[in-house]
Amino acid sequence: MAADSTLIAQDIEAYLALHQHKSLLRFITCGSVDDGKSSLIGRLLYETKMIYEDQLAALEQDSKRVGTRGGEIDFALLVDGLAAEREQGITIDVAYRFFSTSKRKFIVADTPGHEQYTRNMVTGASTADLAVILVDARKGLLTQTRRHSYLVSLLGTERIVLAVNKMDLTGYSQSVFDDIERQYRAFAAQLGLSDITAIPVSAIGGDNVVARGAQMPWYRGKTLLEHLETVPLDRATLPQPFRLPVQWVNRPNPEFRGFAGMIASGAVRPGDELRVLPSGRTSRVARVIEGGVDAPLAVAGQSVTLTLADEVDVSRGDLLAAAAASPSVASQFEATIIWMHDEPLLPGRTYLVKIGTKTVTATVAPIKYRIQVNTFEQVPARRLELNDIGVCALELDSPIAFEPYKESRVLGGFIIIDRLSNNTVGAGLLRSALRRAENVHWQALDVNKHARAQLSHQKPCLLWFTGLSGAGKSTIANLVEKKLHAEGRQTYLLDGDNVRHGLNKDLGFSDEDRVENIRRVAEVARLMVDAGLIVLVSFISPFRAERLMARSLVERGEFVEVFVDTSLAAAEARDVKGLYRKARRGELKNFTGIDSPYEAPENPELRLDTTQLLPEAAAERVIGYLREVGIIDVDLTWEI
């Protein structure tokens, strides 16, 4: 049974008209384990009559069976959804709840309080207009309270309700409440949070959640629900310039070319002058179409289709912006990154970044510092682990139109996607553009790779030998180079051990150093391919991601991944350099195959099984492959 039942019964049309003009408030609730979050939300749902009788009956049964209130109704059970959570008695993921009153519809992101689930809180906060931070009146401010406040402020949720819960367990003491409020305001000021409303509540008893209750006459402010119903929603006090990330180009016939997307900020009318970014071209809005119908005006938050007066090139990922106030374009940024995956963020590794409607390749390098979320201290870091937050340089492979996250969640917020697993592994907030890239342009030189290669009658390429230590990479690569050299080819062999004596002598064997090791070698190899050489790289290169990165640096067809395959047992039995023995004795840390992983190639151009092939035969296979694909051409050897 819903609220306003009298009006519903007597005049449904009037009720519908009233509800048609409701606004929408999205908020997040955060608190530590046992602060009573689920109870509070359960209470809100119950008291706004969002619970039906059959659900209530199920709740009563469940309360007796698995409740934590000794058989009394346990409102938390209304919201602890997944079976796994019920068993553990905790909430493990973001859940969205809905309730409404005659003034507003509410969407609540319910997120768990344990430290390891920071990623869920960040997810919930990303769309929230307001945060309800729960504090247990008996415990006061905890480390978790600081953490949650920091995260919501980071994500730009600046309206805070401090709900001091379990007042019933402190004898409804005003002084306890006042102390907590004072401490919280002092702390929140450090984060730049000032829009704070503190409310003393008892989620179990219901006091000050919806109704006032008789227990705290000293509190004269609004109840939680009254506050949520009336808090102003407008984010911006000044009109914002128009921004629309183009989501889809609508071309049903040659006469119509529409650009569809959701307006990120500002408003648009036919006749407005727009700039397309990053190209910079301008045109005027011909039509504003909403749901197939022409509209005189559209505003932020609406999904529309625009047509332009001129034929300009616009595609998905471009930004349409007010011509007179268009944002800057850049490809290097300083960004805050929140890491959300078990596999750490490694500087130098390439990822995909989705920002607005654009997906680009990106590298993080370097990490400036990690933020100790409990103390807000900045500490040096070489990687980001699950739930770490760091400030990093972010380099994209193509320029984008952007705004700092503080000014625009749409143009400044991004997700990071792993290129191999396709998982969302992190989220980030653009802080500012770094100007380096604009000053260091790639020089277009007149003598190019093609010209250099022609002079030496060969097709440059990159032969990438990967495999366990002792698999035979260097032996085979050495033989291949000798054969190529004998044919008069211009070659260079980059060997792992040799490079570590010079260019990479500052690097060790941790995961981040291995990534950087490969990045440098791949970049050197790229320059050498550009110089027209046949480059042989003989490196363990244990991670798929880095080999993929190396492949992406050269042109299609230029990269030949040679998997020198042998079993760990066979490599260990050979142990030419005595390294496996050392690793087994624990004298060598992070040794590939022993205590550091080797990710075998899935589709190498060539696989050489060195338990079956002798080095000479293996080298012949490589030469054979190069002829087969035309990298070394019989016709070219030679007429000189």
Partner 1 sequence: MSALTHLQRLEAESIHIFREVVAECEKPVLLYSIGKDSSVMLHLALKAFAPAKPPFPLLQIASGWDFREMLEFRDATAKRLGLELLVHTNEEGARSGVLPWSPGTAYADLMLTQALRQALDKYGFDAAFGGGRRDEEKSRAKERIFSFRSTQHRWDPKNQRPELWQLYNARKNRGESIRVFPLSNWTELDVWQYIHLENVPLVPLYLAKRRPVVRREGRLLMVDDERLPLRADERVEELSVRFRTLGCYPLTAATESTAATLPEVIREMLLATGSEREGRIVDKDGAASMEQKKQEGYF
Catalytic residue among 149, 331, 541, 567: 541
Using the rule CB under 8 A, give the single segment among 103-111, 146-154, 196-204, 554-562 that binds partner 1.
103-111
Question: What is the spatial distance between Cα 147 and Cα 613, in angstroms, rounded to a whole number?
Answer: 58
**Given the complex with partner 1, which of 236 and 379 has the nearer CB atom?**
236
Interface with partner 1, residue 466, by CB under 8 A: no
DSSP string, 502-566: TTTTT--SSHHHHHHHHHHHHHHHHHHHHTT-EEEEE-----HHHHHHHHHHS-TT-EEEEEEE-
**CA 177, CA 179: separation in Å to the nearest integer?**
5
Residues 17-56 that bind partner 1 (CB under 8 A): 19-24, 52-55
Among 90, 92, 210, 434, interactor with partner 1 by CB under 8 A: 92
Q: Does 287 bind partner 1 (CB under 8 A)?
A: no
Per rule CB under 8 A, is residue 227 in the interface with partner 1?
A: no
> According to DSSP H, which parts of 96-223 are helical?
118-125, 143-154, 174-190
Q: In the structure encoding, which two tokens stand for residue 93, read together?
A: 């993921």
596 is catalytic: no
Q: Which is nearer to partner 1, 287 or 607 (CB)?
A: 287
Distance between CA atoms of residues 629 and 598, nearest Å: 28
Query: Exactly one of 48, 247, 279, 590 binds partner 1 (CB under 8 A); which one?
Result: 247
DSSP, residue by residue, 34-52? TSSHHHHHHHHHHHTT---
Q: Which stretch binds partner 1 (CB under 8 A): 94-102, 380-388, 395-403, 450-458?
A: 94-102
Find the shortest distance in angstroms from Cβ 78 to partner 1.
Answer: 8
Least CB distance to partner 1 at residue 83 (A): 4
CB atoms within 10 A of CB 290: 13
569 binds partner 1 per the rule CB under 8 A:
no
Minimal distance in Å, beta carbon 232 to partner 1?
8
- Residue closer to partner 1 by CB (options 299, 325) is 299
Name which of 394 and 525 has its Cβ closer to partner 1. 394
CA end-to-end distance (rounded Å), the chain: 93
Nearest distance, CB of residue 341 and partner 1, angstroms: 9
Residue of 443, 494, 432 whose CA lies nearest to 466: 494
Contact region with partner 1 (CB under 8 A), list: 142-150, 320-328, 406-414, 570-578:
406-414
**Minimum gap (Å) between residue 72 Cβ and partner 1:** 19
By CB under 8 A, is residue 324 in contact with partner 1? no
Q: How far is the CB of 126 from partner 1 (least distance, A)?
A: 4
Q: For partner 1, which is the closer residue by CB, 355 or 631?
A: 355
Strands 282-290 and 95-100, how do they pair?
A: unpaired
| Distance from C-alpha of 264 to C-alpha of 357, rounded to nearest angstrom | 11
The residue count for binding partner 1 (CB under 8 A) is 88
> Does the footprint of partner 1 cover residue 421 (CB under 8 A)?
yes
Look at residues 449, 467, 472 and name the one whose alpha carbon lies nearest to residue 459.
Answer: 449
Nearest-angstrom CA–CA distance, 466 and 606: 11
With residues binned 3-state (H G I as helix, E B as strand, rest as coil), the percentages for the chain, rounded to 5, are: 30, 30, 40
Which residue's structure tokens are 């291949």? 480
Q: Which of 134, 289, 364, 462 binds partner 1 (CB under 8 A)?
A: 289
Q: Which is nearer to partner 1, 88 or 611 (CB)?
A: 88
Task: Sketch the per residue contact string, 294 through 323, with partner 1: x for CB under 8 A, - otherwise.
Answer: -----xxxxx-x----------x-------
State which amino acid sits at residue 538. S
Query: In sequence order, what are the residues at sequence separation of 6 or more whose Cβ sits closer than 8 angstroms to the Cβ of residue 580?
Result: 469, 470, 571, 572, 591, 593, 594
Q: Examine residue 252 and tell whether it contacts partner 1 (CB under 8 A).
A: yes
Nearer to partner 1, 120 or 517 (CB): 120
Show contacts with partner 1 in window 342-361 (CB under 8 A): 352, 354-355, 357
Of 137-145, 202-210, 260-268, 546-554, which segment contacts partner 1 by CB under 8 A?
260-268
Residue 183, Cβ neighbours under 10 Å: how many? Answer: 14
Active site residue ranges: 541
